[in-house]
Structure 1
């Protein structure tokens, strides 16, 4: 029997139950306890109700299913695009599209589970119905992407104020499963008719601005400009070529030397990934790593880098040069169950002291997912590897949480070193050094370019120095060749 017959309530007549105002409540009845009880106790006379009434009810439900997203209760993409088409007609007032998505939603689903992810989307749907202006339309466009059609603003200044207010309200903590949940968002804004002439152009341009905001780190909104089209073309080109870069030997491992602050002797090197594109030249990881993470290619690239670094470390160790190598772990690598097995298997194949490998994890990433970071770090420590907290001082630095992580080394971010000429920054560096010494952590300072910086850091108790003063990143062949030349 069709479960949609539960729409026929035994306590109401056709006239007072099936009204033009009930399409949305109808769909709620599908999953209600009362509805299931009605269906279980369905009486023959209900089934014999007027066919016209049943057909009308089912038409209402079908229309609702076509126009609404069942998880969030918001309008869906189909309905929203139809609304846009109706509004983007000659003589209609100006409008704008706010297109936004949750930052790192995939990571949230993978780390907390899809059920929690659905709860987040449902809570967000409720939030959006509360913060969207009267007369505007909001819809779920798919996945964690949403859109708002803004109507009835006077000028660009007013639109900017609307976007700013909406983004502020959107960014407040959500109540999900009884707990406050902090999320960040990326949002793109495009206006009609100033930025687009058609529905497709408006949606595409708002999406471009959204992707640009997310590519810049998220937690921000941007208004569309024509420059975004060129950026997208390059991004699509890189994504397509990156899929073949490993097979074509275009991905390379480079090394930047690290020296002992006290003696000036070579301590080790940080391993860095570079993409040597045959036509575009050297592409920095800041440009292609986000693409690799989004496409899942980061796992293959990281596996290649690990094998290369361990091979080089073993070669140098066998030659009597036991250098330490820092290896960066991207945020996405935390999620791969194969990571620890891969590292363990690699160490088993190469007779290398595991303490010569130091895996670097970004501070803000560790604190955003503290429990997962602790598990990964503890497992790496059990393998005998070293652990470093990268970009230290840019996020949540405190004695309380730092003591919870089994890290050996703290890396002072180069942005701090760059401003060492300022007294306030000098005080901050002294504080970081005092914290590290209190917890018996090794300190590495990045971005050292001048002897005066090195002298100050050395006096503060920094153990290892890294930067252009001691050498720029070079490809692995050049790095190893220099070591042999030093002999």
Structure 2
């Protein structure tokens, strides 16, 4: 007997036997995406594995496990009528394949003819193929072994349409864009015929954050290795979940379909769990490693959609919203997102002229020392004084700048202008420092050190007056390269601030390896200060900063009560609307009494 324990999980079976070449990865993919009902048995007729179509044809609840049960008992329970000659006692002695025409009882007292093919595989297992007599393609060729294939029918007789439908991504060997679109089209057809109307189907586009930077820094071969490993992770998930379909669309973008969802909350739980499993760190030669985060956009399949392209378009729009926020998350499509997309196209065009027309400017938000009772520094924040829409905050256009390739020019403007303001501070006897936010794209695609050095020399400003703020996730795109860049800046005299502290991953390892000067506690902690656990976390962060000799800046201070609680905990540096909203440079000079 091939499998001594029929209670082994499907995942263990597939992964183990794919290593033994009993099932190749291509056969596994074909098994799960086939529209024929497929059921794998051991030589005693015990069910080892089934695909989703088997559940559909048999009308079995997808949440009911039938692995480990007798195949004949399951088929009888489902209302199948088959000849008594189809006994399993002699299965272990049979070879080749047999075909039977059987009938399934229907609720309207009629019957549905089904072609049952039984294939006795060379490894001792048995493959059942259920095919409803209809116009569906017969796909058995894709999971039979070559010798078995020749016994079923000539491979050359498969139509071009079938080959195209069953095509796979060349690099990763998982289903490709063609299969993804075909799969969604089939689900749309289910809706049009009134099937599966009581469950939700989610179409998901998922990509690897800042993957293009990895390609540039590590080369295409290493980039391909990431894609292959990521696809293998998707394959493993698909192997244990018959409701999950995965494919690679292009580049680092993958398409997923999750079926059998009852509510949006069930999708949230499923997707959060899936994304958490798919994140991983890759090790490269020379002790270099890359931590991969993911972004995903989701659209729910429903009757408002008539073509596949509309479903995918809306998932793409939701994905763009996640990228706009910096990635590392997911978003579900809402109708208002489509309106924003149309507006973004207009803004992208306007942004080309913004620098030339001097529409971009810096505003500055003070950072206040509770102990010294004065402003000690400012964070520079870019604003776009749009001729039609008025002042736009960075959230409204930074993503557009990144996706359109204009972020580098914007970054140069910000650094030059911030250093110029420091020069003006010197002239007006204002002893304050200024911090600048650096986009991950700018961090990796520009020589930040030289760019800053040019500006400091141009305006005769000391490097110690300038801070660079990077988010927690920035260094993990390429830890070795990041470490070198940050050390160069630190050696120049620039202070490094770690922004949004507490919202990313592996922050403690950052503190240990990188020359960080200050932490900026994300405002989400301040919003949640009513919870006792959040207060305890803030105490730990304050203690961490004190013990490791880091400055700690708390962002998002908007009410006096929070200011007092944070001061009592031991925090000194505060930033938020309670202190001041961001302001243009000219307003800073009115605050001299709060600075000196």
2:168 corresponds to which residue?
A: 68
TM-score by length of 2: 0.63
Partner of 1:312: 421
8 Å Cα contact 2:376-2:595 kept in structure 1: no
- For the pair 1:443 / 2:552, whether they are aligned, the reply is yes
Question: Does the CA contact (< 8 Å) of 2:383 and 2:394 recur in 1?
Answer: yes
Q: What are the within-5 Å matches in structure 2 for residues 171-320 of structure 1? A: 171-173=276-278, 183-193=293-303, 195-216=304-325, 218-320=327-429
Alpha-carbon shift at residue 343 of structure 1 (Å): 0.8
Matched, 1:362 2:471: yes
Show the 5 A alignment for 1:45-60.
none
- What is the 5 A alignment of 1:302-341? 302-341=411-450
Distance in 2 between residues matched to 1:242 and 1:365, nearest whole Å? 25
Q: How far off its partner does 1:451 sit?
A: 4.2
Q: Give the corresponding residue for 1:99.
A: 204
| 1:117 has 2:117 as partner | no
Q: Report the CA distance shift for 1:265/1:210 in structure 2 as closer, same or farther (over 3 A).
A: closer
Distance 1:192 1:324, change over 3 A: same
> For residues 121 and 373 of structure 1, what CA distance do their matches in structure 2 show?
22
How far apart, CA to CA, are the structure 2 residues paired with 1:161 and 1:473?
40
1:324 and 1:357 in contact (8 A); partners too: yes
| CA distance in 2: counterparts of 1:23 and 1:176, whole angstroms | 32
Corresponding residue of 1:143: 251
1:235-290 CA distance string (max 9 Å, x none): 32322322222122221100112233223233121111112222222222123222
How many residues of Structure 1 are paired with residues of Structure 2 in the alignment?
A: 438
1:227–1:477 CA distance, 2 compared to 1 (3 A): same
Which residue is equivalent to 1:131?
A: 237
Alpha-carbon distance in structure 2 between the residues aligned to 1:391 and 1:181: 18
Choose 204-213 or 127-136, whichever is displaced more.
127-136
* 1:377-434 Cα deviation digits (max 9, x unpaired): 2111121112222223334577664132212222233333445555544433332222
Q: Which runs of 5+ in 2 are unaligned?
A: 1-139, 147-153
User: How big is the alpha-carbon RMSD for the aligned residues of Structure 1 and Structure 2?
Assistant: 4.0
State whether structure 2 residue 282 is matched by structure 1 residue 157. Answer: no
Q: Residue 65 and residue 112 in structure 1: after superposition, are their counterparts in 2 closer, same or farther (change >3 A)?
A: farther
- Structure 1 stretches lacking a partner, 5+ long: 1-19, 27-52
| Secondary structure at 1:139 match in 2 | strand
Q: Is the 8 A contact 1:334 1:372 kept in 2?
A: no
Larger radius of gyration: 2
Task: Name whichever of 386-395 and 277-286 sits farther off.
Answer: 386-395
Measured at CA, do residues 398 and 435 of structure 1 come closer, stay the same or move farther in structure 2, by a change above 3 Å?
farther
Equivalence for 1:387: 496
Asked if 1 retains the 8 angstrom alpha-carbon contact of 2:208 and 2:292, the reply is no
Question: After alignment, is 400-409 or 214-223 more displaced?
Answer: 214-223
SS of equivalent to 2:262: helix
User: Secondary structure at 1:320's aligned position in 2?
Assistant: coil
TM-score, with structure 1 as normaliser = 0.76
Whether 2:177 is the aligned partner of 1:77: answer yes
Deviating more after overlay: 429-438 vs 447-456: 447-456
Change (3 A) 1:255 1:158: closer
CA distance in 2, matches of 1:113, 1:145: 18
Q: 1:317 to 1:150 in 2, by over 3 A?
A: closer
Task: Indicate which of 455, 471, 474 corresponds to 2:583.
Answer: 474
How many Å separate the matches in 1 of 2:313 and 2:257?
14
- Measured after TM superposition, the shift of residue 171 of structure 1 is 4.3
Distance 2:413 2:589 in 1: 18
Distance across 2 between alignment mates of 1:294 and 1:24: 45
Q: Residue 196 and residue 260 in structure 1: after superposition, are their counterparts in 2 closer, same or farther (change >3 A)?
A: same
Question: Aligned residue for 1:347?
Answer: 456
Q: Is the 8 A contact 1:392 1:413 kept in 2?
A: yes
Q: Report which stretch shifted further, 340-349 or 216-225.
A: 216-225
- Structure 1 residues 140, 317: CA separation in 2 closer, same or farther (over 3 Å shift)? same
SS of residue paired to 1:389: strand
Residues 246 and 23 of structure 1: CA distance in aligned 2, closer, same or farther (over 3 Å): farther
Q: Which residue of 1 aligns with 2:74?
A: none
The offset of 1:435, in angstroms, is 1.7
Structure 1 residues 356 and 166: alpha-carbon distance in aligned structure 2, compared to 1, 3 A threshold:
closer
SS in 1 for 2:470: strand
